[in-house]
Structure 1
Amino acid sequence: MSFLLLPEYSMMSLLSITEPLRIANRIVGKEVFRWQCLSENGNPVIASNDMALEQSIHVDFCPSPKNVFVNASFRPEKYISETCIKWLRNLDRKKSVIGAIDTGCYALAKAKLLDGYKVTLHWEAKPAFQERYPYLNVSDELFKIDGNRITCAGGIAASDMVLYFIEYYCQSEVADLVCEQLITNGTRHHADRQRPSKSEKLNVYHPKVLKALELMDANIETPLATVHIAKVLSISIRQLERLFLQYLKVSPSAYYLKLRMEYAHYLLSDSGLSITEIALASGFSSTAHFSRRYRAFYGKTATQYRLLTLA
């Protein structure tokens, strides 16, 4: 397995892959799996934790890896170069397996290597990625194998992905022994959710409230009026407000605004969209209105927050 490391990549994701593979090799007693780290210039790449691995191979010295994973994390668009894009497209022409860890999907999407494929990436980066590439099919799975494209949400989910490989290329008993060595209870299915469900997270199980939350989540850019949500649920506005106060301690409109603000917050952190574009994507018809709401909610303007993330 080859890993093209982009600056600020997640070292946890990388180690979550290589350590289970190392353990599997030790258990089997031979080198079933091999791996190498690549960079555009052959120099060590600084990860998001400000650390770097000493060994990194120049991509020019590795023109045709059988499979490669782009490993990225924070600000991936900043570090995607034409060299990277050309190299990935060349691998595609050679029928290599091409994958992405965490936000590595940005490089594949920019190279137009995800068109027609179903992909996944870290939940925090998903809103910005979908705004940038609305035509791509993005899931909430831990990892996704679709033909010769393999994408992973990153973090500990990277271990789940390679445990699947270990089980496939070795035996399920080997994967179980690797889990024991890692002191974990076992593998998760690729389709498991990255985050707890709304009901689990909020400890709310009332069907009308959950349906209202589902409608809100699905309509961030064009917010629904409270009266419309109540109509869909076949209840009165007053009853909807009572349910929200009972289970969430806020009004429906206040909760909806919180969702939209959080969505905007993620876009400011992880996308290259302008503040005007983010305001529209979050359901605000005017940048001024969005800015006032954002400052009231987070204590600083959207511009101030973006400057902090770029520092």
Structure 2
Amino acid sequence: MIALASAIEPLRLANRVAGKPLYRWPCFSIDGQPVQASNGLEFQVGGDLEAASGFHVVAVVAGLDPGRVEDKRLFAWLRRMDRQGADVGAICTATVVLAKAGLLDGYQCTIHWENLAGFVEAFPELEVTDELFEIDRSRFTCAGGTAAADMMLNTIALQHGQELATQAADQFMHERIRDQRDHQRMSLRARLGVRHPKLLSIIATMEENLEEPLSRNDLAREAGLSTRQLERLFRKYLGRSPARYYLELRLNRARLLLLQTEMSVIDVALACGFVSASHFSKCYRDFFGRTPRKERGLPPAPEHMEGRVA
């Protein structure tokens, strides 16, 4: 809902400020029925896909579990809109829908940071960035949330001038129009409430090396610290050892891959720096209180197969 509203409201306010209808945004669902958002509110639509035609721009909006979308009618309709010359784009996790429809081959695209790792694993052939939004010729994608507002405000500026975009942003107290190079996530300093520069640098290095974790000695050496100083930093500011913090980062990444991809358990384990499924399963169960297979609602694996199961 927040992504949808963030995409629509800049257009409405651009019309209001301009004093004329520069944009319109009829909304449709696959079957023409109202759509319930994850917050419980129902959204009324103007018809089904067959009623949607003749548009210059088509934007697909998705939220939770986009990987479950397997509607061939939707994919065919999107490809038809593309053939008819429409710009086709995605808001939030709908990037997955465009990828499944085969509409992102040869285009740069982005997606919400929480879905980024799973999306890259599922579509390794695509050129995926972690930008706030991407506009690449006839394709546009954005990270969702309020990023949709920034994408639309940038579009308004390109089509009708920066002054109109700024006035529209001012109407809903959006104090700065971000461009696509802005970061999706809050800075590490803001997320962790930590200001120590060397600690932040080490954590950033950890986040960049989840598949092949660095040793404690390597992390300390890169930061210009002794291993004892490294331990003290983590204990003082984060209340845990560097090894524990690193493990939690890897397990949280693993959970996203389990929930968002069809990767086997062993492939998820390897992608997150674990050498065996059995070790991964034990660490996962200790941290989350359930095994990786149970996370997916699968029956437990036989004990003698635990180290090799998919």
What TM-score bracket applies, with the shorter chain setting the length? 0.7 to 0.9
Alignment of 1:183-262 (within 5 A): 183-233=173-223, 235-262=225-252
- How many angstroms does 1:233 deviate by? 4.3
Report the CA distance shift for 1:230/1:183 in structure 2 as closer, same or farther (over 3 A): closer
Q: Cα offset for 1:13? A: 1.2
Matched residue, 2:69: 79
Identical aligned residues as a percent: 43
Letter in 2 for 1:60: E
**Partner of residue 138, structure 2:** 148
Other structure's SS at 2:285 match: helix
When the two chains are superposed, the root-mean-square deviation of aligned CA atoms in Å is 2.4
Partner of 2:118: 128
After TM superposition, give the deviation of residue 96 of structure 1 in Å. Answer: 2.2
Q: 1:140–1:194: 8 Å Cα contact kept in structure 2?
A: yes
Q: Distance in 2 between matches of 1:45 and 1:80?
A: 17
List gaps (5 residues or longer) in structure 2.
299-310
Which one of the candidate residues 34, 47, 58 is aligned to 1:68? 58
Q: Name the aligned partner's letter for residue 12 of structure 2.
A: R
Partner of 1:6: none
What displacement does 1:145 show? Answer: 1.0
Q: Give, in angstroms, the shift of residue 87 of structure 1.
A: 2.1
Q: 1:164 aligns with which of 135, 139, 154?
A: 154
Residue 286 of structure 1: CA displacement? 2.2
Q: Distance in 2 between matches of 1:268 and 1:49?
A: 24
5+ unaligned residues in a row in structure 1: which ranges? 1-10
**Corresponding residue number in structure 2 for 1:98:** 88
Distance between the aligned counterparts of 1:246 and 1:52, measured in 2?
47
1:111 partnered with 2:101? yes
TM-score normalised by L of structure 1: 0.86
Quote the offset at 1:39 in angstroms: 2.3
Conserved 8 A contact 1:44-1:56: no
TM-score (norm: length of structure 2): 0.86
Alignment partner for residue 51 of structure 1, among 41, 50, 71?
41
Describe the superposition over 1:174-211 as per-residue Cα deviations: whole angstroms up to 9, x where unpaired: 32332232133232222211112223323445554344
Q: Distance in 2 between matches of 1:214 and 1:183?
A: 32
Give the superposition deviation at 1:235.
4.5
1:20 and 1:232 map into 2 onto residues whose CA distance is: 45
Q: Is the 8 A contact 2:258 2:265 kept in 1?
A: yes
State which drifts further: 289-298 or 166-175. 166-175
Match of 2:265 in 1: 275
Aligned to 1:4: none
Q: Which residue of 1 aligns with 2:167?
A: 177
Q: Which letter maps to 2:137? A: G
The aligned counterpart of 1:287 is 277
- Once the two structures are overlaid, the 10-residue window that deviates more, 284-293 or 29-38, is 284-293
How far apart are the structure 2 equivalents of 1:135 and 1:276? 21
